[in-house]
Structure 1
Amino acid sequence: MLTYRLLLLLKFAGVILYGGGLIGSFAATALADRKRAVHAIASPGLVVTWFAGYLLTTQLLIPLTEFWILGGILLSLVSQLALVYSVSRDRRTVATFAAAFFPLFLVLALMVFRPTWSELR
């Protein structure tokens, strides 16, 4: 039980890092600071989140092919790609923010509600 709680805490810390990097990448004014927010904060946060999530699935014996897990992986990757695009093209528009934030919000919804393939039928 302690291992599960520590992994959950690690995953939550990764999500906080990713969210902080996302906000920092749009709030910072200098391009170098925006790139640092994406590559030094958000990207490692996503790796920590994925790693802790994988370890949680092994603890709980949940297959990685569940709808909410696959959706979370795909949508978090979309969000990360939107962040990288925004700093590589030096764009800080509402559209690029939405392209990064909305998938992250959907990931959080998937993690909370955990819809499975059987529930979608």
Structure 2
Amino acid sequence: MLTYRLLHLLKFLGVILYAGGLIGSFVATSLPERKRAVHAIASPGLLLTWVTGYLLTTQLNVPLTELWIVGGIGFSLLSQLALVHSVSRDRRTVGAFAFAFGPLFLVLLLMVFRPTWASFAS
């Protein structure tokens, strides 16, 4: 049980780092600061989230093919790609923020509500 709680805490920390890097990449004033927010904060946060998420699935015996996990991986990757694209093109528009934040919000919804494939088969 202690291992599960520590992994859960680390995963939450990863989500906080990713979200902080995402926000930092849009509020930073210079391009080097924006790139640092993405590559030194958000990207490691996403990696930490993915690794601890995988380890949590092994602890709970949850298959990686569950809808909420597959969706979470896909949407978090989409968010990361949108974030990297916005920084590499030096775009700080509302649209660029929406394309990076929207998928992250969907990930959070999936992680909280945990829909399964079986819930759609009924």
Matched residues in 2 for 1:43 and 1:51: separation? Answer: 12
Distance 2:38 2:120 in 1: 34
1:35 corresponds to 2:35: yes
Gaps of 5+ in 1: none
Number of the residue aligned with 1:85 = 85
Unaligned runs of 5+ in 2: none
Where does residue 75 of structure 1 map in the other structure? Answer: 75
Partner residue, 2:48: 48
Counterpart CA distance in 1 for 2:31 and 2:83 is 13
Cα offset for 1:107?
0.2
Counting aligned pairs with the same residue, the percent is 77
Aligned mates of 1:62, 1:37 — CA distance in 2: 32
Count of aligned pairs: 121
Q: What residue is the counterpart of 1:14 in the other structure? A: 14
Tell me which residue corresponds to 1:26.
26
Give CA-to-partner distance per residue, 1:54-92, whole Å, 9 cap, x none: 000000000000000000000000000000000000000
Query: 1:96-111 residue pairs with structure 2 within 5 A?
Result: 96-111=96-111
Q: Distance in 2 between matches of 1:46 and 1:85?
A: 16
- TM-score with structure 2 length normalisation? 0.99
Runs of 4 or more consecutive aligned structure 1 residues displaced over 6 Å after TM superposition: none
**One-letter amino acid of the counterpart of residue 23, structure 1:** I
Q: Alpha-carbon deviation of 1:120? A: 1.4
Q: Deviations over 1:93-115 (max 9, x none)?
A: 01110000010000000000000
Q: Could you tell me which residue of structure 2 aligns to residue 62 of structure 1?
A: 62
Structure 1 length as normaliser, TM-score? 0.99
